[in-house]
Amino acid sequence: MQRIRIHYHKGEALMYIGNLDVHKIWERTFRRAQIPLAYSQGFHPQPRMHQACPLPLGFTSRVELLDFWCDSDEPIDNLRTKLERTVQPGIEIQSLTTVPLKDPPLQTIVESSVYQVTLPEPVDLSDLQGKIDQLNSADHCLRERRGKSYDLRPLLKELSLIHSTPPEIVMRLSALPGATGRPEEVLEELELDPFVVDVERIELTLLPQTI
């Protein structure tokens, strides 16, 4: 048996496809590629696959990660070739690497995510910088999610404005289990509509002991 980690891009063709459906897309891809996935034990066996962390709808990503277990000792280059022939548009495979079988589940070892926000519409950069400075200096930023109050501020690790053309915002958010920051909520605090900007996940940081 092998445990293999796929690093892939999720492009615009799949930006409105949710995490569960992406999981099903990968199941179909493995089936078409005739790669024998290993299955869990119990009454309802499931293919052994782990995704790193859900990507919010409407966003793209350069750094999606998926672990899968396969009942095969086929060379990793052969597996990549088979997957690239059958993968759905919107997914671009970057690399395949082997992972120790007993490493922790992928979804438990992501420490933080970095998002790049491109601002296509004219904005008052001076005003926006002031809002970013205010949020960075705040001790708390209380919000509500699913009817429960929470503090966004400790989930926001870095936030900066890049004076490029077009201008960009870069933010690093906690992605730990039970302590995950959402980029659209940061944008709302900055009084920016998440639906009129382009958001791309550009980095995932794994906990040090998993490298």
Is residue 30's pLDDT more than 70? yes
Which DSSP string do the residues of the chain spell out, in sequence order?
Answer: -EEEEEEEEE-GGGTT--HHHHHHHHHHHHHHTT--B-B--SSS--B-EEESSPPPTT-EEEEEEEEEEES----HHHHHHHHHHHPPTTEEEEEEEE--TTSPPGGGSEEEEEEEEE--S---HHHHHHHHHHHHH-S--EEEETTEEEESGGGEEEEEEE--SS-EEEEEEEEETTEE--HHHHHHHTT--TTSSEEEEEEEEE-GGG-
Angle at alpha carbon of residue 210, lines to 209 and 211, rounded to 5°: 95
Of the pLDDT bands very low, low, confident and very high (cuts 50, 70, 90), residue 122 is confident
Q: Give me the mean pLDDT over the 115-136 stretch.
A: 93
Is residue 158's pLDDT more than 90? yes
pLDDT, tens digit, 9 for 90 and up, residues 82-114: 999 999 999 999 999 999 998 999 989 999 999
Is residue 10's pLDDT more than 90? yes
Give Cα 74 to chain centroid, integer Å.
Answer: 28
For residue 140, the model assigns a pLDDT of 95
Of the pLDDT bands very low, low, confident and very high (cuts 50, 70, 90), residue 47 is confident
| Torsions phi, psi for 186 (to 5 deg) | -65, -45
pLDDT, tens digit, 9 for 90 and up, residues 32-42: 999 999 988 87
Of the pLDDT bands very low, low, confident and very high (cuts 50, 70, 90), residue 211 is very low
CB-facing half-sphere around the CA of 9: CA atoms within 13 A: 11
- pLDDT, averaged across the chain: 92
Is residue 46's pLDDT more than 90? no
More reliable by pLDDT, 72 or 28: 28
Of the pLDDT bands very low, low, confident and very high (cuts 50, 70, 90), residue 209 is low
Q: Would you say the C-alpha torsion 166, 11, 206, 20 has a positive or negative sign?
A: positive
Q: Give me the mean pLDDT over the 8-23 stretch.
A: 94
